Structures are given as structure tokens and as C-alpha cells.
Amino acid sequence: MRSTAAILLLPLLFACAGLPRITPAGEAETADIVKEGLAPFLKGPCRLVHSIDGTLPGGSRATMIGVSAAEPDTGRIRCTLMSIEGLVLLDAEYNARLVINRGIGPLASPDMVMGMLRDIRLILFGPAGSPVGAGMLPDGGRVCRYRADDGMTDLVMRQRGTVELVLYDGSSKVVRRVRFSGERRNGMPANIRLSAPGVFGYTLDLDLIEAEPLR
């Protein structure tokens, strides 16, 4: 426990350039923060159905139904996107390599589909890397910070059970924001908003229709 606390309290990691400074929490509170921050993510294999309303680059909008089967222990994901009329626009899976079973138009591009699957991993699986800091942000939010080879992830606890994820790249630039909110069903939040900033940025609002554990 002492060695874990020592790692979490390394001041150098709290003061990474471009990242909000963390006022460290004590050992007992740190454990609570880590647990609370991981609450929105899958704990086991699950099949999820979401309605998706997206604001795409350029301001156009799209509405779809997304079906995901995901296994956090293995990292396997299968994703199906359908129009509201039931037309399958994409059927793809990732298990060490990408396989596109069906893709229409831009959704036939491996680069685009892989980017989508990375976003799905971000909202369903816990952050990559290990916790390196937990405590309080200057704005009052409780936070747990994770460090991976390609950047940092902050999980920030807000009021009414809302959790915010902020993903930073290796230069501490924000590349994704995710907000988890609403009543949880089978452990999964009812509402998820994912935002990608920038010139080609986009926003996706996902509303949970069904969450079913997989055997």
C-alpha cells in the first residue's frame, strides 16, 4: 500500500505541462476516487444497443442505431451500425486485427472504421495505463489520472454521478472528451456524449436502449 501511495503522490506527474494540477488525496480517498472513476465502464462481456445522434465535421447531422458486443478482458469488439430504417451501414470487428464484414461508402475505409472502434473502446473500456495521481482539480472536481505510452487520461467525478473523461495526447493536447451521465442499467450509464475537438471535430450523443451481459 505504501509503495502504491508513493507512486500516486509523485509531484512531478501532477505538474505535467498542459495538464490541470492535482491536489493529492489521502490513501483512503484515493481508493474511493479510483473506484468511482471506473464505474461507467464494462466489468465483463456485454451487448449494448444505443441510439446515436451525431454532429459530423461540417455541421451535418446523422442518426443511427449502434449495436456493440464487447469483451473488456480480451479487448474484442464487434460493432454494427444501422440506419433508423434498419439498413446495415457497418459490420466490423476487432480482435488483434480489424475485419470489416460490411461497410457502405466511407464506412468501408479501414482507417475510418478503426478510428470509430477506438472511440468505442474509449467509452466502453477503462483507461489504458496505470493510475499516477488522484485528488482534487482546481475547479473542485475529484480526479484520477492515468498514464499510458501515448498520453494521459483524466477521469473526473462531477455532481449527480456524472463522470467526465478527458484524453490527452503525448503533448498534453485534449483529443477527446466523454461525459457519462444518467441512471445506470446493468452498470452502464444511460447517456454518453463523446466530443472530438478540432477543424474536423465531431460530437456523438449515445442513449442506452439495452445492456445485456454476455455469457
pLDDT tens across 86-113, in order? 999 999 999 999 999 999 999 999 999 9
Identify whether the C-beta of residue 143 lies closer than 8 Å to the C-beta of residue 155: yes
For residue 46, give every residue at least 6 positions away whose Cβ sits within 8 Å of its Cβ, in sequence order, or none: 69, 70, 186, 188, 211, 212, 213, 214
Per-residue confidence (pLDDT) for residue 11, from 0 to 100: 39
Is residue 129 classed exposed, middle or buried when 0-12, 13-18 and 19+ CB atoms within 10 A define those classes? middle
Q: How far, CA to CA in Å, does 101 sit from each of 27, 46, 49, 91?
A: 48, 21, 19, 5
- Sole residue written with cell 460493432: 79
Identify whether the C-beta of residue 34 lies closer than 8 Å to the C-beta of residue 134: yes
Q: How far apart are CA 187 and CA 189, in angstroms?
A: 7
Note the pLDDT tens digit of each residue in 158-169.
988 899 999 999
Which pairing describes strands 46-55 and 61-71: parallel, antiparallel, or unpaired?
A: antiparallel
For residue 198, give every residue at least 6 positions away whose Cβ sits within 8 Å of its Cβ, in sequence order, or none: none
Beta bridge partners of 60: none
Least confident range of 4-18, 53-67, 151-165, 180-194: 4-18
Question: How many other C-beta atoms can be found within 10 angstroms of the C-beta atom of residue 108?
Answer: 14
* 75-102: b (≥16 Cβ within 10 Å) or e: eebbbbbbeeeeebbbbbbbeeeeebee
Identify whether the C-beta of residue 204 lies closer than 8 Å to the C-beta of residue 119: yes
Note the pLDDT tens digit of each residue in 125-160.
999 899 999 999 999 999 999 999 989 999 999 988
Least confident range of 4-8, 29-33, 69-73, 130-134: 4-8
Which cell numbers hold the place of 100?
470489416
The overall average pLDDT reported for the chain is: 90
For residue 141, give every residue at least 6 positions away whose Cβ sits within 8 Å of its Cβ, in sequence order, or none: 156, 157, 158, 164
